[in-house]
Amino acid sequence: MSLALSQQPPMRRFSNLLYRKPNLYLAMLLVPPLIWFGAIYLGSLLTLLWQGFYTFDDFTMAVTPDLTLANFAALFQPSNFDIILRTLSMAIVVSIASAIVAFPIAYYMARYTTGKTKAFFYIAVMMPMWASYIVKAYAWTLLLAKGGVAQWFVQHLGLEPLLHFVLGIPGVGGSTLSTSHLGRFMVFVYIWLPFMILPIQASLERLPPSLLQASADLGAKPRQTFMQVILPLSVPGIAAGSIFTFSLTLGDFIVPQLVGPPGYFVGGMVYAQQGAIGNMPMAAAFTLVPIVLIAIYLSIVKRLGAFDAL
């Protein structure tokens, strides 16, 4: 026996209303997060970028809302442009290295592990992310420092001449590992590696084993199967992972401070400009840099067809 519509309890009437009007239901689900995303996130980002057009007076250290392009023009001054280039080249190198290191691990996880072994690998890959990232960066400064663990190994393996040679290369080296570009690069690769492994692993997981068998069946040697089938089909995963490693490196301001030679990264520059110097307009201008670079990067990746196989 069913009650007439008007006699049903209010909650029932309400759920019936939602059932009849799916758009209302959808709106109720989506409006709160959209308000949050729109007002809090996009709103504050746009406000920040808008401040990039304000004027900063070097003498009085005061910000006035007189609109100018001077801050964005200042990005191209050699000292600032160096910072951008340094950050960008590190982001590119870190992304490439992460992809190379991550691929075999991701491949092994996707193709050769099942059940408990797979769970073990997931935990092993993600466990470093459970620890604070600052702690890990500090730990690396100790590992790489003079007299640290890394040097101890180098000494006992008799590789000191090699280390001296590598540290002597301009643009790579420094006085010790912990104050070299190489050291900073190693820490970045270590910290962002999980963000590269997981998307590649997911893309390889979706690869049906019959495709690899078909390739071998048609006469392809393992190397050919890798180059012609596995690699092209894992490109979306590599692209997704590299978006993480690229953007995270671009925005980071802690690792460059703790490890590596002196000299700002974009993130550190934003931090310094708005904190110690109080030049909010310049900080805002620097904020635009990673956004623009990532947009360019995404359009290149898309142009290369990385998302066609999605």
Alpha-carbon Rg of the chain, whole angstroms? 26
62: phi then psi, degrees, rounded to nearest 5: -105, 145
Nearer to other proteins, 145 or 233 (CB): 233
CB of 3 to other proteins, least distance (A): 47
Should residue 272 be labelled a site residue for other proteins when binding is judged by CB under 8 A? no
Q: Select the span of 75-83, 176-184, 203-211, 276-284 touching other proteins (CB under 8 A).
A: 203-211
Should residue 171 be labelled a site residue for other proteins when binding is judged by CB under 8 A? no
Helices 181-205, 231-251: axis angle to 10 degrees equals: 140
Give the helix/strand (H/E) hosting 176: none
Q: Looking at 233, 254, 258, 298, which residue binds other proteins (CB under 8 A)?
A: 233
CB of 270 to other proteins, least distance (A): 40
E-strand spans in the chain? 55-57, 62-64
CB of 230 to other proteins, least distance (A): 11
Q: Looking at 100, 211, 277, 296, which residue binds other proteins (CB under 8 A)?
A: 211
Strand partners for 57: 62
CB of 231 to other proteins, least distance (A): 10
**What angle is formed at CA 293 by the lines to CA 184 and CA 45, rounded to 5 degrees?**
100
Should residue 304 be labelled a site residue for other proteins when binding is judged by CB under 8 A? no
Query: In which residue are the tokens 């592990």 written?
Result: 113
CB of 208 to other proteins, least distance (A): 7
CB of 222 to other proteins, least distance (A): 8
Q: How far apart are CA 265 and CA 86, in angstroms?
A: 7
Nearer to other proteins, 13 or 221 (CB): 221
- Closest Cα to residue 94, out of 259, 285, 231? 259
Nearer to other proteins, 20 or 116 (CB): 116
Q: How far apart are CA 148 and CA 106, in angstroms?
A: 30
Q: How far apart are CA 207 and CA 215, in angstroms?
A: 13
The tokens describing 20, both together, are 């009849």
- Quote the DSSP letter at residue 63: E
Residues 213-232 that bind other proteins (CB under 8 A): 213-221, 224, 228-229, 232
Should residue 203 be labelled a site residue for other proteins when binding is judged by CB under 8 A? no
**What angle is formed at CA 222 by the lines to CA 217 and CA 223, rounded to 5 degrees?**
135
Nearer to other proteins, 160 or 308 (CB): 308
Nearer to other proteins, 232 or 261 (CB): 232
Number of residues located near other proteins, criterion CB under 8 A: 19
3-class DSSP assignment, residue 64: strand
CB of 199 to other proteins, least distance (A): 17
Should residue 117 be labelled a site residue for other proteins when binding is judged by CB under 8 A? no
Binding site for other proteins (CB under 8 A): 208, 210-211, 213-221, 224, 228-229, 232-233, 308-309
